[in-house]
Chains A and B, each alone.
Chain A
Amino acid sequence: MSTPEHNKKPKMGDRWAHIDKLLSRTGPLAVEGFDEAVGMIRPFLQDSVRILVIGAGGLGCELLKDLALMGFRNIDVIDMDTIDLSNLNRQFLFREADIGSPKAEVAAKFIEKRVPGCKVTPHFSRIESKDRAFYKQFTVVVCGLDSIVARRWVNSMMHSLLRYDEAGELDQSSMIPLVDGGTEGFQGNARVIFPGMTACVECMLSLYTPQVNFPMCTIANTPRLPEHCIEFARLVLWPKHRDDQIDGDNPEHITWLFEKARERAAEFGIGGVTYRLTQGVTKRIIPNVASTSAVIAAACANEVFKVVSSCTKYLDNNLIFNDVDGVYTYAYKYDRDPDCLTCSNKPVDVACSPEMSLTHLRETLCTSDKFQLRGPGLTTTVGGKNKTLYMARPAALEQATRPNLDKSLAELGLEHNQMVNVVDPTVAGALRLRLVMKQQP
């Protein structure tokens, strides 16, 4: 820009001149009450606010940059991954020399160097290794994850921090806003969640397309696509011939699968098995480009800035983005599910019968659209005593509770309206279920 004011000699105090236009001036689109706070907002944003960024991948790198340049100075970042060569086409805080180092640590160091005054605290760990006291420290939590299970876990964690009074009214001071971004190829979404107040990740679960698995009978008997042959090599041949776990980044492993898949494809006259496809199917690779990460992270960071400062109103509550055919965005309000597993603050009904086996009940919890659990463990109270129905871990408990799997709910002493607590990889605490028995004993 070549306006005269830009030609003045710069002062150090001008550093935040751009965001100050929004933070020190009010306007018709500001949130009510913003006027009274003008002047105090930047110091608040810079000194009192602490943001947690979950994930230091494609979205995470962008988010850290975006937030640091929106004036935030206390940022934590958590990621359990190390840097891989295939990250470098979009994760711009990493260089070839960083390959193998923890993403969170390299990213934090880079931001601190490039944006002096911004403190970024890295956590090279799993999200599940942090407790409620950790998550409670933040003003806003931003998610840049590629896993639905992890996203559901974070959502569950942020809801577990909510406090309700005796009348069931939410104590809003216990609420920490959650901003969530996701990308795949040229598509993405961003959402703003006020736990306990607006639709949460669990309410919107149906928006995620379920993972496609080829039926085993097709893979084994009637392969038609190169993918079927690769899955045959991975699921049937590998366990038969090899003892080690498949590592999708080990070229020897992928080469082995590729050769076997190619042999099988040749047998059936199927073309198109390549090394790239073999690795893609084996690792379930999600294609990603820099531009989509940039757009979605920017949308999320913009929402964080608005939510914290109230300088304008914010996204209500879901944005979808796709730039294959032109540039398509659509922001709309997703309604809360009054019976949501996570945010309804009440037990959720599950239909069952006294004859149903515990295995069947667990399968229902995994396959039904509403629950989509991954490995539920169940406990309950029978006759005033705590009773563990089934736990997948630790191994000793699994062994002790395994015989229960074949028993019917009636045999286990479970009745109509029985309350059952469920733990699962998608849940930070426990779900409360109410068994609704079709035939009451």
Chain B
Amino acid sequence: MSEDKNVVPSQREQRYDRQLRLWGDHGQRDLEAAHVCVINATTLGTETIKNLVLPGIGKFTIVDPEFVTTEDLGTNFFFEERHIGQPRANAATELLLELNSSVEGNAKVDTMANVLAKDPDFFRQFSVVVACDTPLYALLPLATLLWAEQIPLLVARAYGMIGYLRLVTPEHTVIESHIAAFDDLRLTRPFPELLAHARSTILDDLSLDKHSHVPYPILVLRGIDAWRETHADLPRTRAEKKEFAGMLASWRRTKDDGSGVADEENFAEAMAKCNTIFRSAPNVPSEIQALLDDPKCSNPDKSAFWQLCNALKAFVSVHNDLPLSGAVPDMHADSRSYVALQQLYRSKAAADQAFIKDALASRLPNALVARFCKNAAGLVVVRTPSLETELTGHCGKLSDAAAMSVGDETRAFEFYIALRACDRFHEKHNRYPGTGAHAHEEDAGELSSMCADVLRNAGVDGVTIGDDCVKEMCRYGAAQLHSVAAFVGGMTSQEIVKLVTQQYVPANHTIIYNGVQGDSRTLNF
């Protein structure tokens, strides 16, 4: 993709314009390099792929042994009547590829289990694997293989009014979390060039016009100098911050005609920022310190992320601070003062980046190093439990999740357990509750006792699953409502974009969508 910022954009850039403004050209490159595997072309499966083909994912592969039925036509948009009796994987691939000629799509008409038995290497080629509408127990062999390969697995389901999405990955690292951070201006610990620049500004010598256009960071730094003449420490308490702001207020000029205090917006800005500037926060946020203390930081693997963290650790040990982001927010100032200030921050940020680059054990692209440094305060590592742990172990945190969901109107925890019980039912009877010729209510009793089994096996005491949840699950009979599948498909595709671009933070780790309430919760256990 052309990245010349000075010419009329190519057709391709125009097509992707609305998303390039979010994840950038580098995010788009990562997306176009990705190959996603979707197991089962159910409604949920094709909706997920649709939302990836449109923004231009590199490749997708559908694995599905089933054939298109009439009832598929009533819920899945990517089949037509002429496809009835044909493999779902082929039909869906054909219609999905119509959406974007840049995307490659493959179909494999076989069961996941067969593919795994015949050719385990098959699944090693993917960036992400998504399993749609498959019971969890059937996924264990695949999940184990992907876990060992560090390939993320998403398990997605649309079950009547209930949606489910689970991320399974030993580790996913995020460089650009896009989580709004505080401005990083270092006013309480200015670097020498910044302090020298501030001290070269003699406020009393300035005309009123210049005086009212001094950028607020300079005012604050001059204020701190004055404050230190009478105080040993920086303003910390609410009263001290107020006193500091009052001191700045007293520096405002009177109007030229002598009719009261001039309306100097830069001073108003400085005074308003006192609370956040003097908040007590460690130089290195605790989340980032935890990353630096991670064993992988000292002994990084081949991943760029951990190598960069290793260099970051060296940086912090020298500077006791993170690399400067270099971003200066807009503020009330004249052009020249603002640009001069911006230059200082940018030079310092460039110097910090150079340090990181030198500290790296092996060479990495400059643009990547720069992005890492810029976002160092927002780095994230996501680690989820394995599917095996969830299904076979006593999961202590599940009891906490149960306790925390008391009074939750979405009843996410109850529906999670009910879904697990539906799988158990499926494992025993080879059908889901509420399917088959008999009345759906007849399955409620057995499903209810299976909910109790799931809780007991997981070591969760003192919790029961409401009869209304159990009866609703029987009513749903594993129906794929297009609306619920499209909702979960939308979420799933965005989680995939997160995983392949290392931008934004994936949900950790189980989302339950309640289509009755129209709301969702993320469970972490």
Question: Are these two chains actual partners, yes or no?
Answer: yes
Interface residues of A (CB under 8 A from B): 1-6, 10-12, 14-19, 21-22, 25-29, 62, 65-66, 69-71, 85-86, 88-90, 92, 95, 114-116, 185-186, 190, 221-225, 251, 254-255, 258, 268-270, 274-276, 279-280, 285-295, 297-299, 301-303, 305-306, 312-315, 319, 323-327, 329-331
Residues of B within 8 A of A302 (CB): 481, 483-484, 487, 515, 518
* Given A223-B335, A324-B178, A290-B55 contact (CB < 8 Å): yes
A274 to B42: give the CA distance in the assembly, Å. Answer: 43
A2 to B519: give the CA distance in the assembly, Å. Answer: 29
- Please determine whether A22 and B160 come into contact, CB atoms closer than 8 angstroms: yes
A286 to B22: give the CA distance in the assembly, Å. Answer: 10
- Please determine whether A22 and B475 come into contact, CB atoms closer than 8 angstroms: yes
- Please determine whether A299 and B99 come into contact, CB atoms closer than 8 angstroms: no
Q: Which residue of A lies closest to B161 (CB)?
A: A312
Residues of B within 8 A of A221 (CB): 334
Q: Kindly identify which residue among B13, B100, B440 contacts A25, using a CB–CB cutoff of 8 Å.
A: B440
5 closest Cβ contacts across the A-B interface?
A: A294-B490, A295-B490, A315-B518, A28-B468, A302-B483
- Please determine whether A85 and B15 come into contact, CB atoms closer than 8 angstroms: yes
| Interface core residue of B13, B133, B520, B522 (most chain A CB under 10 Å) | B520
Q: Which residues in chain B, 65-87, are within 8 Å of chain A measured between CB atoms?
A: 65-66, 69-71, 73-77, 80-81, 84
A-B contact pairs, 18 of them (CB 8 A): A1-B478, A3-B478, A5-B435, A10-B69, A10-B84, A17-B71, A19-B481, A21-B160, A70-B481, A85-B11, A89-B55, A185-B22, A224-B339, A276-B21, A288-B18, A291-B491, A294-B51, A294-B490
- Please determine whether A21 and B476 come into contact, CB atoms closer than 8 angstroms: yes
Nearest chain A CB to B474's CB is how many angstroms away? Answer: 8
Residues of B within 8 A of A225 (CB): 330
Nearest chain A CB to B285's CB is how many angstroms away? Answer: 15
Q: Which residue of B lies closest to A269 (CB)?
A: B339
* Given A18-B479, A21-B160, A86-B7 contact (CB < 8 Å): no
Residues of B within 8 A of A323 (CB): 491, 494-495, 504, 507
A14 to B71: give the CA distance in the assembly, Å. Answer: 5
* Given A90-B54, A326-B508, A70-B73 contact (CB < 8 Å): no
* Given A324-B504, A327-B522, A3-B489 contact (CB < 8 Å): no
How many A-B pairs have beta carbons closer than 8 Å: the answer is 285
Kindly state whether residue B389 has any CB partner on chain A within 8 Å.
Answer: no
Residues of A within 8 A of B280 (CB): none
- Please determine whether B54 and A89 come into contact, CB atoms closer than 8 angstroms: yes
Residues of A within 8 A of B484 (CB): 298, 302
Nearest chain A CB to B92's CB is how many angstroms away? Answer: 13
| Interface core residue of A89, A270, A292 (most chain B CB under 10 Å) | A89
Residues of B within 8 A of A254 (CB): 8
Residues of A within 8 A of B440 (CB): 25
Residues of A within 8 A of B200 (CB): none
Residues of A within 8 A of B160 (CB): 21-22
- Please determine whether A298 and B490 come into contact, CB atoms closer than 8 angstroms: yes
Q: Which of B226-234, B252-260, B426-434 contacts A (4 or more CB under 8 A)?
A: B426-434
Q: Which residue of A lies closest to B440 (CB)?
A: A25
Number of interface residues of B (CB under 8 A): 105
* Given A22-B160, A268-B339, A326-B435 contact (CB < 8 Å): no
Nearest chain B CB to A321's CB is how many angstroms away? Answer: 9
- Please determine whether B51 and A291 come into contact, CB atoms closer than 8 angstroms: yes
Kindly state whether residue B399 has any CB partner on chain A within 8 Å.
Answer: no
* Given A288-B19, A294-B51, A327-B491, A12-B504 contact (CB < 8 Å): no
Nearest chain A CB to B432's CB is how many angstroms away? Answer: 6
Q: Which residue of B lies closest to A191 (CB)?
A: B518
- Please determine whether B70 and A329 come into contact, CB atoms closer than 8 angstroms: no
A88 to B81: give the CA distance in the assembly, Å. Answer: 26
A92 to B56: give the CA distance in the assembly, Å. Answer: 12
A19 to B476: give the CA distance in the assembly, Å. Answer: 9
Residues of A within 8 A of B495 (CB): 323, 327
* Given A270-B339, A323-B504, A285-B21 contact (CB < 8 Å): yes
Kindly state whether residue B6 has any CB partner on chain A within 8 Å.
Answer: yes
Nearest chain A CB to B13's CB is how many angstroms away? Answer: 8
- Please determine whether A275 and B9 come into contact, CB atoms closer than 8 angstroms: yes
Kindly state whether residue B480 has any CB partner on chain A within 8 Å.
Answer: yes
- Please determine whether A3 and B80 come into contact, CB atoms closer than 8 angstroms: no
Besides the known contacts A221-B334, A287-B18, 9 further A-B residue pairs in the complex with CB atoms under 8 A apart:
A18-B75, A69-B482, A92-B99, A224-B331, A276-B13, A312-B161, A319-B519, A325-B178, A326-B505
A297 to B489: give the CA distance in the assembly, Å. Answer: 12
- Please determine whether A291 and B494 come into contact, CB atoms closer than 8 angstroms: yes
Residues of B within 8 A of A62 (CB): 486
A307 to B358: give the CA distance in the assembly, Å. Answer: 62
Kindly state whether residue B414 has any CB partner on chain A within 8 Å.
Answer: no
Q: Which residue of B lies closest to A71 (CB)?
A: B74
Kindly state whether residue B5 has any CB partner on chain A within 8 Å.
Answer: yes
Kindly state whether residue B105 has any CB partner on chain A within 8 Å.
Answer: no
- Please determine whether A319 and B476 come into contact, CB atoms closer than 8 angstroms: no
Q: Which residue of B lies closest to A111 (CB)?
A: B77
Nearest chain A CB to B424's CB is how many angstroms away? Answer: 15
Nearest chain B CB to A389's CB is how many angstroms away? Answer: 35
Interface string of B498-525 (1 = CB under 8 A from A): 0000001111100101011111101000
Kindly state whether residue B213 has any CB partner on chain A within 8 Å.
Answer: yes
